[in-house]
Amino acid sequence: MSRSRRSVLVPSVMAFGFAFLYVPILAMIGYSFNNSRLVTVWDSANSPTLKWYSALWRNQQVLDAAWLSFRIALLNATGAAILGTLAGLVLARFGRFRGRTLLTALTTAPLVMPEVITGLSLLLLFVAMEQTIGWPAGRGVTTLTIAHITFSLSYVAVIVQSRLAGFDVSLEEAAMDLGARPVTVFLRITLPLIAPAIVSGWLLAFTLSWDDLVISQFVAGPGSSTLPMVIFSKVRLGVTPDINALATLMVLTVAVGVVIATVLLRRQERRREQDLRLAAGAD
């Protein structure tokens, strides 16, 4: 009796939950092909249409903002991947050292810190730095990139750290015993092992930066509006069909990217596991 009740409860909550997660996005995608300017009135005579997509292509403000966001996202992802990998490596492999607790705190706090606090505080730092040492002069790409790296490096660190925690140190220790220098061990053993984690971290950092609104609003200067900032200023005034089109493009790009990356990473993972099993079987 109760067994059958539970077996219904869990799947139905799951179905509801997944519908809840996906219906709004699917509705938005559908309406991006609607001919009517009144977003939610479906003009069945003239729809579907791609006119909002072509309008987007002629909107210089949107194109400029997208280009700016893209450049910042690239810089950020690369910076965050390097710093986050170092932090993850230190936390997973360096054992106890003075300042470990501090580093743990500094890498986990940005994951939950409300963005308004981080954004405001960073802006105040930039202003104070400009007053005292003259750098960063004004606000724009530099301040946006620094701010984005600061919150996204934590995500990379967590991913890399948990990946390293899944691997035995014995491989690295064996290489050390055979006389390899730490840099060689890192480049030849550790880096290949954590490469998938670094790639995932890079991708996540890229999208976090590409999507960030709140922190960017604080640290952006006049004339450096990122894509989410442009979208937000339009959306505050109401729902518009060209934003539906833009949103559809952004959501689909990310979805396709994530699916491809996941499949590729999993395939590589499986190959590596096979290699390890073969290696283990050989001795």
Partner 1 sequence: MAARGLRLGRLLVIGVPMGWLLLFFLAPFLIDFKISLSEVRLAIPPYAPLLEWADGKLVALHLQLTNYRYLFTDSLYVSAYGYSLKVAAISTLLCLLLGYPMALGIARAEPARRNLLLMLVILPFWTSFLLRVYAWMGLLRNNGLINNLLLWAGVIDAPIQMMQTDFAVYLGIVYSYLPFMILPLYTNLEKHDGTLLEAAADLGAKPLAAFLRVTLPLSVPGILAGALLVFIPVVGEYVIPTLLGRPDQLMIGRVLSDEFFANRDWPVASAVAMLMLVLLVAPIVAFQRVQSNAAEAR
**Residue 110 interacts with partner 1 (CB under 8 A): yes or no:** yes
Residue 46 or 262 having the CB closest to partner 1: 262
Q: How far is the CB of 283 from partner 1 (least distance, A)?
A: 27
Q: Using N-to-C axis directions, what is the helix angle for 60-93 and 227-235, rounded to 10°? A: 120
**Residue 18 interacts with partner 1 (CB under 8 A): yes or no:** yes
**Residue 8 interacts with partner 1 (CB under 8 A): yes or no:** no
CA–CA dist 279, 93 (Å, integer): 24
Please, which of residues 222-241 interact with partner 1 by CB under 8 A? 228, 231-232, 235-236, 238-239
**Residue 115 interacts with partner 1 (CB under 8 A): yes or no:** yes
Residue window 132-161: x/- pattern of binding to partner 1, with contact defined by CB under 8 A: --------------xx-xx--x---x---x
Residues 37 and 191 sit within 8 Å (Cβ to Cβ): no
Q: How far is the CB of 86 from partner 1 (least distance, A)?
A: 5
Dig out the tokens for 262 from the structure.
């996941």
Residue window 68-87: x/- pattern of binding to partner 1, with contact defined by CB under 8 A: ---------------xx-xx
CA–CA dist 149, 107 (Å, integer): 12
Please, which of residues 255-274 interact with partner 1 by CB under 8 A? 255, 258-259, 262, 266
**Residue 24 interacts with partner 1 (CB under 8 A): yes or no:** yes
**Amino acid letter, residue 112:** V
Q: How many Cβ atoms from other residues are within 10 Å of residue 238's Cβ?
A: 8
Residue 162 or 268 having the CB closest to partner 1: 162
**Residue 162 interacts with partner 1 (CB under 8 A): yes or no:** yes
- List 55, 141, 195, 251, residue binding partner 1 (CB under 8 A): 251
**Residue 120 interacts with partner 1 (CB under 8 A): yes or no:** yes
H helix count then E strand count, the chain = 12, 0
Dihedral of CA atoms 66, 151, 207, 52 in degrees, nearest 10, equals -40
**Judging by beta carbons within 10 Å of its beta carbon (0-12, 13-18, 19+), is residue 146 exposed, middle or buried?**
middle
